[in-house]
Amino acid sequence: MTAPRPERRLNLLTGDWVLVSPQRVSRPWQGAASAPKPASGLIHDPSCYLCAGVTRAGGAVNPDYQGVYVFDNDYPALLPGLTAPGPEPDPLLVSEPEAGVCRVICYSPDHSLTMAGMSRAQIEAVIDAWTEQFVELAGRPDIGAVTIFENRGEMMGASNPHPHGQIWAQQHLPNEQVAEDACQRAWLVANDVPLLTAYLEREFEVGERIVVQNDTFVALVPYWAAWPFETLVLPRRSVTGLDELSVRERAGLADVLSRLTRAYDRLFDTPFPYTMGFHQRPVDGRPEEHITLHAHFYPPLLRSASVRKFMVGYEMLAMPQRDLTPEEAAARLRTLV
């Protein structure tokens, strides 16, 4: 049997390369190990500024909400309103104004409930709220892109354990979407089929990186995954945004999100940290048939509940690198769905 050798794989969505080094997977570890913080188990925490009825730091009082609750972030990274161009640009010191809106979306009034513990109906309600927010924000003249995301766990920088995500809508298309937009647009021009449609067909042919699927959605470990247990969630029918999903497809998305997040929690028997987010069409008015809605899950854990992957050194100075192959990661997750 041939010994595994390093190779680089192309991320079709961004044009970046990822170094895969399977021969390193058994290397010993004497680095940092961060014990995960256990869930509190509290249904309501009067000190939590996302719980129902609590006064937030900025003075606003949360209503006694019973389902999904959305509000404007009290400490936003972006501010609304169309912005005028700045002074004549300096080619060495380049900047420009950026307008936008930042919102918080509480998934449930239950302080202890994560997506992995939510019912499919509860996740569908979150998807409905995501969709409503996307439609509303996309209709604003000062918005060109809407990013919906969640940071789960202290390891991923979540400032509050209450189950919640964020929505940042801004004037210009952010970096990751710029790269994905260009790659998907170029592929459609060259091949007359959306990139992620062609890619999903190939993944079904190969089969080894599929983690969970139903009639409308699929979660898989992408061929070019950089994070150890990274996954990509794709619709079977190419749509450009959440607002184009049918009722049946929203139910299918809820099912895949439920099963995938439960599998993550089972992997190391811990509340699994991750950053998750949706990429949809830009909302600048251009035709966007090259875009396919998809969600990225970027979890940092590598070997256990306490040992994580660090994107440092070579990853920051050269290119992403991984030891565990995407195929091995998919096989491990698949047994837990």
- Tell me which DSSP letter residue 41 carries: -
Beta-strand (E) ranges in 33-156?
69-72, 100-106, 145-152
Query: Is residue 181 packed enough to be buried (19+ CB in 10 Å), middle (13-18) or exposed (0-12)?
Result: buried
Residues linked to residue 101 through DSSP beta bridges, in sequence order:
169
Segments in 118-174 forming alpha helices (H): 120-138
Residue 257: strand, helix, or coil: helix
Contact, 277 vs 147, CB < 8 A?
A: yes
Q: Are 11 and 322 in contact (CB under 8 A)?
A: no
Torsion of CA 69, 177, 9, 192, to 10 degrees: 110
Dihedral sign for Cα 278, 279, 285, 291, please: negative
Give yes or no: 296 in active site: no
Distance between CA atoms of residues 150 and 70, nearest Å? 14
Q: Which of 164, 279, 290, 296 is catalytic?
A: 164
Phi, psi of 306 (to 5 degrees): -115, -10
Bridge partners, 145 (sequence order)? 170
Stretch (H or E) spanning 179: helix 175-191
- CA atoms of 171 and 283, how far apart (whole Å): 9
Residues noted as catalytic: 164
